[in-house]
Chain A
Amino acid sequence: MKTFGGSARFLDRADINTDEIIPARYLTEVERAALKPFLLEDLRLEGFDPQRDLAGCEALIARANFGCGSSREHAAWALEVNGIRLVVAPSFARIFRQNMFNGGLLALELPAAAIDGLFRRFARRPGIRAVADLEAGLLEVGGEGEVERVPFELGGFERALLEAGGWLEYADRRYEAGKRKGG
């Protein structure tokens, strides 16, 4: 059974960009692991302390247009090396979303109303978990005694990427270099 997520954090802001997720001053690293201490270091969010608030975090729930701006896949890697393999938001920027799936991570789009509901019910409570079950097509969010189940649909291609472990794995098996349909 393929699941994503775990201990969850709520980021109550839209348009969180990839410069905030991993600032350019750390793009001189060529290995993913080196990005670990710097995740969300420049996030503009009242009262947010990345070191304190991201300890043990395995899933993020955020507002619209998450991951906008730079194409840097370092943003998805900074999440991954911190153990965050699930981001839930009403919408994602295209490149960031593709980077997540290309690396076998889940960028889960849910209707804004459903996200609103999750924020209202759980954002201020400690110990909340968010786990997405691919087979069941169900996101479970909640804590002690209270769980909300939100169904989701995932495109066939995204599902295939997650099953393959990423785009490199998928494409390597499927395509020959330089072949074009119809020449």
Chain B
Amino acid sequence: MGKTIAEKIFEAHLVDRPAEDVWVLSLDAVFCHEITTPPAILELVRRGKDRVFDPARIKAVIDHVTPAKDGKTALQGKILRDWARRHGIRDFFDVGRNGVCHVLFPEKGFVRPGYAVVMGDSHTCTNGAFGAFTPGVGTTDLAVAILKGVCAFRTPRTMKITLSGTLPPGVFAKDAILAVIGRIGVDGATDRIVEFDGPAVEAMDMEARMTLCNMTVEAGATCGICRPDEKTVDFLWEFIRGDFADRKAAAAAFRRWWPDPDAVYEQEIAIDVSGLEPLATFGYKPDQVKPVRELAGTPIDQVFIGSCTNGRLSDLRVAAAVVRGRTIHPRVRGIVCPATPKIYAAALREGLIEDFLQAGFCVTHPTCGPCLGMSTGVLAEGEVCASTSNRNFNGRMGKGGMVHLMSPATAAASALAGAIANSPLFPGTRRTP
């Protein structure tokens, strides 16, 4: 019987089957940040087990609140920093070199096709874009992963989502994943791995595929996953060139992780993206999705462009193109957060930062802060934010605040309008509210 991508990765990493439906997998890498890792470190220290299974396979970053905003966040950073030092964890990224984990770690080449990786963060699923199994886990799973290099999962069940057609101009991977979540619901993929397929996914660059996989957890998925292809090879080439004769050879080797033609899927869903229009959320759940035109005119107080969903260079390029030469609405506080120093530097070179500053945006250092209401952009009671992030939960960006999720193009257009608005990049709708 044919296998899905996840089934192939599970078989290649099997350590133990402690029960009929449970697989304990060995891990190629364990990713860490300063919110969920310190409690794991403290627990291991308390138990007299302050060890790491392999310092070269552990990658750590301070990204949620950085630079520290108070004594508590300073302590979280210190616990992670001291731990990385005493265990010789070389790939540790602190102020000046740090960025949003799910953007930074792929950028550093830490995720490869066929890998099994865990991190104490639900959006670790982003990394599945590389053809890897990369579920988010809790702190106890993380502690065991750090100590033993293993993690337990149920027998993988895969849901195949085929995106056919071509994304229209002004419609992006963010709109596609919002459409998927709107269709299957916030528990539509619970305990399942979402394997993406189809010409629209093939046409996406790696950044778009990461956006796609990033929000699979909002449908309850364990992980999103894409076939590794030539685009995966190109993205990773500087890190893997020593391992393969040429790019073609690398792409051929990665086909090992493609699903078999007769792979068995628990469920298959097909969406033609050609008919999609820009989407945004309207409630407190990521599956509450409507066309932007139906939400047009909803007043906003803040716009946030950034996060592990949409803080990459391609996102900043699109947003800058929308605001270039214009000024954001005087009532709107605009926040742009390049996800890593490399992206920040590239945006500077390309003049994007200048575009944002001229338009009246504040450009912050790389951090996760605003997305989860921890720093640099917390909402007050009753305030509304148009955001390119991934969660619109009650209080997510600040107690009593409201979040509308959307693409960078829509967020940028909304900043100009002072209300939710479609971007001119989408020619389908020019109607003003």
- Interface positions of A (Cβ within 8 A of B): 15, 17, 19-20, 23-25, 27-32, 42, 44, 64-65, 68-73, 76, 91, 93-96, 98-99, 102-103, 155-157, 160, 166-168, 171-172, 174-182
Contact = CB atoms under 8 A, between A and B. Distances in A.
Nearest to A34: B72
Given A27-B374, A98-B138, A179-B26, A69 B122 contact: yes
Contacts of A167: 140-141, 144, 152
A50 to B, nearest CB: 13
Contact of A68 (B75, B121, B220, B373): B220
Nearest to B147: A177
B391 interface: yes
Nearest to A171: B144
B285 interface: yes
Contacts of B13: 180
A70 B120 CA distance: 9
Given A65-B186, A70-B122, A93-B190, A175 B399 contact: no
A177 B53 contact: yes
Contacts of A178: 26, 53-54, 148-149
Contacts of B350: none
Interface string B88-123: 000000000000000000000000000000001110
Contact of A30 (B38, B53, B399): B38
A30 B42 contact: yes
Contacts of A42: 393-395, 399
Interface in B58-95: 64-65, 70, 72-73, 75-76, 79
A157 B122 contact: no
24 contacts: A17-B393, A19-B372, A19-B396, A20-B393, A24-B372, A28-B70, A30-B38, A30-B39, A42-B393, A42-B394, A69-B393, A70-B122, A70-B372, A70-B391, A93-B220, A94-B220, A95-B122, A96-B138, A102-B140, A155-B19, A167-B140, A168-B43, A168-B140, A178-B26
B143 A168 contact: yes
B187 A71 contact: no
Contacts of B186: 15, 65, 68
A35 to B, nearest CB: 11
B140 A99 contact: yes
Nearest to A75: B138
Contacts of B137: 71, 95, 98
B399 A23 contact: yes
Give the top 5 A-B pairs by smallest Cβ distance, nearest first. A73-B138, A99-B138, A102-B140, A157-B19, A42-B395
Nearest to A160: B18
B47 interface: yes
Contacts, number: 176
Interface of B: 13-16, 18-22, 24, 26, 35-36, 38-39, 42-43, 47, 49, 51, 53-54, 64-65, 70, 72-73, 75-76, 79, 120-122, 124, 135-141, 143-144, 147-150, 152, 186-187, 190-191, 217-218, 220, 222, 284-285, 372-374, 391, 393-396, 399
Contacts of B120: 71, 73
Given A73-B140, A168-B43, A178-B54, A28 B393 contact: no
Nearest to B287: A15
B171 to A, nearest CB: 26
B138 A168 contact: no
A94 B24 CA distance: 16
Contacts of B19: 155-157, 160
A157 B155 CA distance: 12
A26 to B, nearest CB: 10
A65 B187 contact: yes
A72 B38 CA distance: 12
Contacts of A103: 140
B190 A94 contact: yes
A72 B37 CA distance: 10
B140 A30 contact: no
B190 A102 contact: no
Interface centre among A28, A65, A68, A70 (most CB of B within 10 A): A28
Given A19-B395, A28-B72, A95-B136, A65 B147 contact: no
A150 B39 CA distance: 36
Contacts of B64: 27
B76 A30 contact: yes
A91 B393 contact: no
B135 to A, nearest CB: 8
Nearest to A65: B187
Contacts of B22: 155, 157
B50 to A, nearest CB: 13
A176 B139 CA distance: 19
Contacts of B49: 172
A91 B122 contact: no
A182 B13 CA distance: 9
Given A156-B19, A166-B140, A177-B149, A73 B36 contact: yes
Contacts of B399: 23, 25, 42
Contacts of A31: 39, 42
Contact of A157 (B65, B149, B152): B152
B72 A177 contact: no
B140 A28 contact: no
